[in-house]
Amino acid sequence: MFHEHRTDVSGQSPPELESEYAADLAAIVEAHGVDAVVEETGIDRELVESVASEEISDELTLKQAAAIQALADGVADADTVHEMACEHLLLGMTTGVLDIDAVTAELPLNLEATEVQQKIERRAPMTFREFVYIQHVIATHQP
């Protein structure tokens, strides 16, 4: 599950990591059905259908992915999943001895360090794709 502390990416690229998570989210949508996911999460039907097809849209936010993940058995509520995902990024930065500038320098995204910091601290919205790339950078630096 994407919100757990990731300490290794096993040689995966960010797109491969995203595909892993896309399959997990698609399985949740398949188990519950598109209609139920739309109703329970309030996420746009088109976006849920793309998740069901294992496609991560540029518009899918971390918060929306957390809402879908929260539908799985034994998983906390959406707000907790969102918080845990971001807290585990911060934990990974600590254990990997990374500051925000080091993380930002390795991101192939057009983001400034302050933007990345605000996203990790949940003071600014983060897309799911941004989360995957940030998580990938942090996980590659774990001892």
pLDDT band (50, 70, 90) for residue 52: very high
Region 44-52: mean pLDDT is 98
Q: Report the sign of the C-alpha dihedral through residues 102, 10, 15, 42, in that order.
A: negative
Whether the model clears a pTM of 0.85, i.e. scores above it, the answer is yes
Please determine, for residue 14, whether its predicted confidence score (pLDDT) is greater than 90: yes
What is the rounded average pLDDT of the residues 16-45? 97
Rg (CA), the chain: 15
pLDDT tens digit sequence for 118-139: 999 999 999 999 999 999 999 9
Quick check: 67 and 57 in contact, CB under 8 A? no
